[in-house]
């Protein structure tokens, strides 16, 4: 059990008007910090007012992107209780990502205690509007002031909180996504399965090219052959083809093992919906789209929840998915998942962890 020192803010901030908040731009009154050194391990757990971190310019996180992070949410139920969704999965993934980057693991019970204590302290920041929640961003980073590439001696575990609504400005409206043919997100043996800052930094250029054409995001192909569909970066993808749900396999190590992905696969299997996790090539996608076999496609992730895909663009050709509107299975999955998360539906798998 962590001994968490709490220093409350003397100047609580005004809560935002949620209708004007863009995703991930507003932060609560407090943050959790814990230091690591190879001599002492994790120590000095504390909650302090949210604010800038004292980090040297030589810190490894600033020079070599030595960080891993997570994204999970706290939800306010109709009974005014605050709850988390599968935080154990995020903590497990954070530690798997940390292994890949040679960063220290955080004890899962300590990480959960840190998250729960911080959320409970800032519980008034958990919004109550439709589709609104408190996004939780844990980060492990190397703050070692050393540019010699020996950089995991001194680390910091940080948790910050951000009240959020819909990730996409368009709400639950179908998004258009371009299949990226130039840049690569990762390759086998790389960091694709890890949630580390560098993956997202390398994805920016393609994302900005797409945005300039009015396209929301890019869908990544495997970095080596540019043949196999992998993920969007902010979300995993699923296709319903001739009645079967197909999603890229995790076996390549190049796709993020999404907690929402895993939960949706479980919900589909609960209902005996045929599902396969396998290699899915862009040629197969094109053939299926041309023959009208693609009934629905959606992205899924903590931030994006379940986001219908209305259109995919590949080599300058547009492929409309179904009739371009949200499909019935996509809507059902959105309703089921959010129903469990906000406590409106039973939680048969024990995914909900109460906070207060």
**Part of the chain binding ligand COI (CB under 6 A), chosen from 4-12, 52-60, 271-279, 297-305:** 297-305
Residue 2 or 114 having the CB closest to ligand COI? 114
Most distant pair of Cα atoms in the chain: their distance: 63
Shortest Å, Cβ 300 to ligand COI: 9
In whole angstroms, the minimum distance from the beta carbon of 89 to ligand COI comes to 12
User: In 10 A of CB 191, how many CB atoms?
Assistant: 22
- Give least dist CB 71 to ligand COI, A: 2
Residue (151 or 203) nearer to ligand COI, CB: 203
303 binds ligand COI (CB under 6 A): yes
Nearer to ligand COI, 176 or 302 (CB): 302
Among the listed residues 165, 192, 299, 301, the single contact to ligand COI using CB under 6 A: 301
Out of 4, 71, 155, 336, which residue is the one contacting ligand COI (CB under 6 A)?
A: 71
- The residue range among 113-121, 143-151, 295-303, 311-319 that interacts with ligand COI, by the rule CB under 6 A, is 295-303
Please give the residues from 192 up to 221 whose contact with ligand COI meets the rule CB under 6 A. 200
* Residue reference for tokens 């930094």: 201
Does 234 bind ligand COI (CB under 6 A)? Our answer is yes
HEC assignment per residue over the chain: CCCCEECCCCCCCCCCCHHHCCCCCCCCCEEEEEEEECCCEEEEEEEEECCCCCCCCCEHHHHHCCEEECCEEEEECCCCCEEEECHHHHHHHHHHHHHHCCCCCCCHHHHHHHHHHHHHHCHHHCCCCCCCEEEEEEEEEECCECCCCCCCCEEEEEEEEEEECCCCCCCCCCEEEEECCCCCCCCCCCCCCCCEHHHHHHHHHHHHHHHHCCCCEEECECCCCCCEECCCCCCEEEEEECCEEEEECCCCCCCCCCHHHHHHHHHHHHCCCCEEEECCEHHHHHHHHHCCCEEEEEEEECCCEEEEEEEEEECCEEEECCCCCCCHHHHHHHHHHHHHHCCCCCCCCCCEEECC
Q: For ligand COI, give the closer residue by CB, 36 or 85.
A: 85
Residue number with CB closer to ligand COI (184 or 232)? 232
Shortest distance (Å) from residue 73 CB to ligand COI: 8
Q: How far is the CB of 301 from ligand COI (least distance, A)?
A: 4
Residue 256 or 352 with smaller CB distance to ligand COI = 256
In this chain, which stretch among 152-160, 245-253, 300-308, 337-345 interacts with ligand COI, using CB under 6 A? 300-308
Residue with smaller CB distance to ligand COI, 64 or 200: 200
Binding to ligand COI by residue 127, rule CB under 6 A? Answer: no
Count the residues in the chain. 356
Contacts of 27 (CB under 8 A, 6+ apart): 50, 160, 161, 162
Structure tokens at 150: 């020996």
Q: Is 149 exposed, middle or buried (0-12, 13-18, 19+ CB in 10 A)?
A: exposed
Size of the site for ligand COI (CB under 6 A): 6
* Region of 56-64, 217-225, 286-294, 301-309 interacting with ligand COI (CB under 6 A): 301-309
Residue from 152, 263, 302, 330 in contact with ligand COI (CB under 6 A): 302
Q: Which residue is nearest to ligand COI (CB)?
A: 71
Query: Closest distance between ligand COI and the C-beta of residue 208, in Å?
Result: 15
133 lies in the binding site for ligand COI (CB under 6 A) = no
Of 71 and 174, nearer to ligand COI (C-beta) is: 71
Is 248 a binding residue for ligand COI by CB under 6 A? The answer is no
CA atoms of 204 and 224, how far apart (whole Å)? 19
Binding site for ligand COI (CB under 6 A): 71, 200, 234, 301-303
């Amino acid at each position: 059990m962590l001994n968490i020192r709490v220093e409350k803010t003397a100047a609580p901030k005004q809560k935002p008007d949620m209708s004007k908040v863009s995703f991930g731009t507003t932060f609560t009154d407090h943050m959790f910090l814990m230091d690591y050194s190879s001599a002492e391990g994790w120590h000095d757990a504390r909650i302090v007012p949210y604010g800038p971190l004292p980090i040297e310019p030589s810190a490894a996180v600033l020079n070599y992107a030595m960080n891993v992070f997570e994204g999970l949410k706290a939800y306010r139920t109709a009974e005014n209780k605050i709850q988390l969704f599968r935080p154990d999965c995020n903590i497990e993934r954070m530690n798997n990502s940390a292994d890949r980057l040679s960063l220290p693991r955080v004890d899962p019970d300590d990480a959960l205690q840190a998250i729960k204590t911080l959320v409970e302290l800032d519980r008034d920041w958990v919004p109550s509007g439709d589709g609104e929640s408190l996004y939780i961003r844990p980060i492990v980073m190397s703050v070692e002031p050393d540019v010699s590439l020996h950089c995991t001696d001194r680390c910091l575990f940080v948790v910050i909180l951000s009240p959020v609504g819909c990730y996409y400005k368009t709400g639950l409206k179908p998004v258009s996504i371009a299949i990226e043919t130039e840049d690569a997100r990762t390759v086998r043996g790389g960091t694709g399965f890890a949630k580390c800052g560098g993956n997202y930094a390398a994805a920016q250029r393609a994302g900005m090219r797409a945005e300039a054409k009015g396209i929301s995001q890019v869908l990544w192909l495997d970095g080596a052959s540019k043949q196999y569909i992998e993920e969007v970066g902010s979300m995993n993808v699923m296709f319903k083809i001739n009645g079967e749900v197909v999603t890229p396999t995790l076996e390549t190590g190049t796709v993020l093992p999404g907690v929402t992905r895993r939960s949706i696969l479980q919900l589909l299997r609960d209902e005996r919906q045929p599902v396969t996790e396998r290699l899915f090539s862009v040629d197969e996608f094109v053939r299926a789209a041309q023959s009208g076999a693609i009934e629905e496609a959606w992205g899924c992730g903590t931030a994006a929840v379940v986001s219908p895909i209305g259109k995919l663009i590949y080599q300058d050709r547009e492929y409309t998915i179904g009739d371009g509107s949200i499909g019935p299975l996509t809507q059902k999955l959105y309703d089921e998942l959010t129903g469990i998360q906000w406590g409106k539906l039973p939680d048969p798998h024990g995914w909900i962890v109460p906070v207060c």
